[in-house]
Amino acid sequence: MHRPNVLLEAGRQRQWVALRAQLVYLAREWCGLTAKELASRLHRDASMISRLYGWYHGHRDQHAEEKLFGELAK
């Protein structure tokens, strides 16, 4: 079942860490959102947002980013 708010739920859903990290990275890079803004929107603290950003920066998935960018550009 597809649940659109799954990334916003409290708790530690390990299967969503990489996707949440990508979301944080792209929101900061593409949209210029701050860690504080993202923390509020994702119901996480700003230090977690910074850790997610840093983790994704070291593990970037260029192919997934290009695919997402293509979908958004339609």
The reply to whether 9 falls in a domain is: no
| Tens-digit pLDDT profile for residues 6-15 | 666 666 667 7
Residues 31 and 15: their CA atoms lie apart, in Å, by 25
Write down the pTM of the prediction: 0.80
The reply to whether 4 falls in a domain is: no
Report the pLDDT value the prediction gives residue 21, as an integer from 0 to 100: 92
Burial class (CB in 10 A: 0-12, 13-18, 19+), 28: buried
Q: Number of folded domains in the chain?
A: 1
| Tens-digit pLDDT profile for residues 1-40 | 556 676 666 666 677 788 889 999 999 999 999 999 999 9
- Residue ranges making up the domain that contains 37: 16-73
The reply to whether 11 falls in a domain is: no
The reply to whether 7 falls in a domain is: no
The reply to whether 3 falls in a domain is: no
The reply to whether 33 falls in a domain is: yes
